[in-house]
Amino acid sequence: MTLGRAPLSSDAERAISLTQRLGLPAGSIREELALEALRHGSWLHEQRFPTAGLRSNERLEFLGDSVLGLLVSQRCCDRFPLLAEGGLTRLRAALVKADSLAGVARGIGLGELLLLGRGEERGGGREKQNLLADALEASVAAVFLSSGLEVAGRVVDHLFAPLFAQAAAGAIGRDYKTELQERMQGEHRAAPLYQTVDSPGPQHARLFEVEVSFQGATLGRGQGRTKKDAEQAAARVALERAEASGVLVPAASAPSSEGAPDTTPPADRAGG
């Protein structure tokens, strides 16, 4: 949930607010780095006066991607000692994907702090998934450069605690779509069909709803901010239903040789 606060009136206040929202004491992030982490390229492009020495958050986002990847990888290894490399890779990918990072950013109201150009502001930039994910990575880099890796690790522990709890409960880190595909191939030698049935919301904050089906029977429906996430959600529902009922595909839609049309050529049938 995005936190509602009064507009910020100064750069210093913006930097202090970022530090607080990351769960750190005052002075943990240098002001110039905090502002750089929040500065989108659109803000620089629309300035009427020279902005020498000021940069967008792209470089910090590049560094933050690696810092965050390292810290999350270390915590995945520490918290899930029995998980093999493939499982660790999937779990890390689920934790640091854009949708997850944007969710973390929304939880601390990071969008309110962004320095955006007027055009990006009007286009809903404060809620855009990629902008929020990039700003969060840039913020982690700003912490790393200001206070070191250990303090950046504290930020990860603070912000990602709910996601790690979900991972421990098996709610994230699984590739439900691949699991469903493998079961379908094993039981029916066929693949399920995914179809987008709805996509409400504005362009910058669209919510996709996807249905997964087999031979006309709905196996599950799911929602997500991207089609890929919605497909994963639909596959998860299908697998959960199968686990509860003991049947992956309803009997009425399961393939059967009984009642199937006879495709044997007439000449062969006559000679039978």
Q: What is the identity of the amino acid at 211?
A: E
Q: What's the distance, CA 86 to chain centroid? A: 19
Q: Which residues does the annotation mark as catalytic?
A: 65, 137
Helix, coil or strand: residue 54: coil
The encoded tokens of residue 196 equal 């987008």
| Cβ contact 157:24 at 8 Å | no
263: burial class by Cβ within 10 Å (0-12, 13-18, 19+)? exposed
DSSP 46: T
CB–CB of 211/194 below 8 Å? yes
Q: In what order do the strands lie in the sheet with 217-224?
A: 193-198, 208-214, 217-224
CA 140 to chain CA centroid, nearest Å: 17
Identify whether the C-beta of residue 37 lies closer than 8 Å to the C-beta of residue 18: yes
Pairing mode, strands 193-198 and 208-214: antiparallel
- Residue 12: C-alpha distances to residues 32, 88, 250 (Å): 9, 40, 61
Please give the Cα distance from 133 to 152 (Å, whole number): 16
